[in-house]
Amino acid sequence: MEKNNNKSVNYIGMFDLLKGVGMLLIILGHTVNNYTFAGTQMHVGMMAFGVVYILVGAGVLQAFFLISGYGFRRTSIRSCIKKQTILMLKPYMYITIGTAALHIFTRYLLSHSMKSAIEQTWSVFGGFLFALPSNKVMFGTQFYSCGAMWYMIALLIGWILLNTLMNLVKERYIPVVVWGCAVIGWLIGMERVIPFCISQGLIAVLFLHYGYMLKKKKVFAKSLSKAQIAFAVFVCALSLGLAGLAGEMNNMANGVWIAGIISIALDGYIGFLLLYLSLKLNTFKGRIWEWIKKIGSNSLYIFTMHTVEMHGIPWWKFTEYMKDEPVLGCVLHFVMRCTFIVVGAYVFKKIVRKLHKRKALRKG
Asked if the structure places residue 46 within a domain, the reply is: yes
Residue 203 lies in a domain: no
Dihedral class, residue 269 (left if φ above 0, else alpha if ψ from -120 to 50, else beta): alpha
Does residue 269 sit within a domain? yes
Residue 4 sits at φ, ψ, to 5 deg, of -100, 130
Q: Is residue 49 part of a domain?
A: yes
Least Cα distance to 197 among 154, 254, 155 occurs for 154
325/335 Cα distance (integer angstroms): 16
- Closest-CA residue to 62 (of 195, 235, 225, 241): 235
Give 90-146 pLDDT, tens digit per residue. Answer: 889 989 999 999 999 999 999 999 999 999 999 999 999 999 998 888 888 899 999
Q: Nearest 5 degrees, angle CA 5-CA 236-CA 148?
A: 95
How many whole angstroms separate alpha carbon 89 and alpha carbon 195? 16
Q: Rounded to an integer, what distance in angstroms lies between the CA atom of residue 225 and that of residue 139?
A: 54
For residues 73-102, average pLDDT: 92
Confidence of residue 339 (pLDDT cuts 50, 70, 90): very high
Q: What is the pLDDT of residues 261-277, one digit of tens each?
A: 999 999 999 999 999 98
Rg (CA), the chain: 21
d(CA 271, CA 55): 10
199-213 CB burial, b ≥16 within 10 A, e <16:
bbbbbbbbbbbbbbb
Amino acid at 320: E
> What range does the domain containing 32 cover?
2-72+221-363
pLDDT at 168: 95
pLDDT at 167: 96
**Domain-located, residue 336:** yes
Mean pLDDT throughout 283-296? 88
Which range, 26-30, 182-186, 233-237, 345-349, is most confident?
182-186
Residue 42 has what pLDDT?
Answer: 47
pTM surpassing 0.95? no
For 179, other C-beta atoms within 10 Å of its C-beta total 16
CA distances from 36 to 8, 107, 277, 295 (A): 43, 25, 32, 28
CA 340 and chain centroid, separation? 19
Looking at residue 29, its pLDDT comes to 81
Domain presence at residue 169: no
Provide the mean pLDDT of the chain: 86
Answer yes or no: is pLDDT of 303 > 70. yes
Report the alpha-carbon distance of residue 204 to residue 201 in Å, rounded: 5
Query: Is the separation of the CB atoms in 231 and 39 below 8 Å?
Result: no
As for how many domains the chain has, the answer is 1
Identify whether 178 is part of a domain.
no
Question: 141 - beta bridge partners?
Answer: 138
The verdict on residue 153 lying in a domain is no
